[in-house]
Structures are given as structure tokens and as C-alpha cells.
Amino acid sequence: MSDMFNVLFSLAKDNNASSTPIASPGSSNRENLITTVYKQHRTRAKILEPYRRLKNALKNMQDEYLQSKDNNVFLRYNNMKHMIHEVILLEKQYWQLVDIPPQEVSESPNTYVLKIINLLDEKGGQPPAIKSGGIAALLGAQMINVTDRTKDQNLHEQIRTKSTDELRKECDRLYVELYKLIRKYLGLRRVVQDLTESFQDTRFYPIVPRYPLLKTMIKRVLRAPAFAEVCHEVNE
């Protein structure tokens, strides 16, 4: 039991330590720059993983759709239902994604990115919910927390080795990179949400007219500008 309290105490201490003000682009305060670049990297990692899930799911659907063209109507109908279901499953398994609010009209790109950094940093400070499994699940969560803290410590130490000028340049670069990543993630998320809604609307339809409707749904996804922009990307 004492180990559990130690973990929770350590998490609380980490959250308090992360309250250092975040630097704006071009800031010269070294400690603020270190904190900002550190949080930028953590935010990027938190968004990049669900972004890749969405992108890869859509790319798999694209490949499977092309392969299904040689199948007969009934087999292809089942293929299309399956490939769409695999994509929209991400919306149902909400824990695999991250909720990011859209940019307000009045927000500049950097202000918006800063808001997302703070939002995800607050969420990241909360201990994970233990749904089931009792002591085994709790111990597993503790091990994950220890591993994550080790990675965070290594990242923080690596950032501290940079000069102030290097930190300033990296801070500016990451503001731009995060804005692009957030925009692409939200674009793919909207595509999947629209697909989910369209698919659910036809779930009680017979094969006719559902077959052509499924084809239309998939083609709409594959031709969506948000997917066309990223479908040829190579994972970093």
C-alpha cells in the first residue's frame, strides 16, 4: 500500500513542477523555454499517436477497397461493411484518440497551440482510471507511470543540454509543427466522425440500396482533402 501512496505522491509532485510559465515564441527566458519545449514535445507525442491511428486506419481502408474490386457483389458488400467498421471503431474506442477543441476565430495559431498544450498537460496530469483487474491492473498502471516518468526525465535532461538560442529556435519550430499536426488530426477526425454518422444511418438498410451507399461513403472518405493531404505520408 505504501508503494501506491509513493506513486500518487510522485505524480502530484510532477504536476506541481510543471506549473512553470510557458514561453511565447521568441522568448529569451531560459527556464521558461526549457519548460515550453518540454511540454511541446509531450503534446506532440500525445497527438501523434492517435493521429497515426486515424491515418493508418484510413490507409488500410483505401488498400482494402482497391483489393475488393475483384470480388463479387455479395463478398464486396461484406468487405465494405468490415473495412468501414474497422475505421469507425476508433470513434467508439474513445481512449485511443484525444479530444481537441477547434480553433476559435479570434485565436492566433500560437495562442491556439498554447491552449492545446495547457489542455493536454492538465489531462496528462490525471492518474489513469482503473476499469477492472484489481491489484494487477493497479500495478500495471504504476509500471506505466514509472516508464513514462523515466522517458520524461530523459527528455527533460536532453532539452537542458541545448543552448538558449537552440531552445528558442526549437520552440518556434515546434509551435509551427504542432499547429500543422493539430490541423491534420482534426481534419481526419472529422472525416471519421462523418463516416460514422453515415454508416449508422444505413445500418438497417437491405443490401439494396445500402451497397451503393457504402461505396459512396468510402469514396467520399478517400477523396476528402484532409485524407488526400496525408495519405502518402511516411510515419516518422
pLDDT tens digits along 154-179: 999 999 999 999 999 999 999 999 99
pLDDT tens digits along 106-118: 999 999 999 999 9
Residues 6+ apart with CB under 8 A from 98: 46, 47, 50, 120
CB 23 within 8 A of CB 35: yes
CB 4 within 8 A of CB 138: yes
pLDDT tens digits along 131-140: 445 565 555 5
Distance separating alpha carbons of residues 87 and 74, to the nearest angstrom? 21
Please report the pLDDT score of residue 140 as a whole number.
54
Please report the pLDDT score of residue 12 as a whole number.
41
Distance separating alpha carbons of residues 79 and 210, to the nearest angstrom? 13
Name the nearest CA neighbour of 102 among 183, 194, 196.
183
pLDDT at 86 over 90: yes
pLDDT tens digits along 19-39: 456 666 555 689 999 999 999
Global pTM exceeds 0.85: no
- For the chain, give the number of residues: 236
C-alpha cell at 103: 480553433
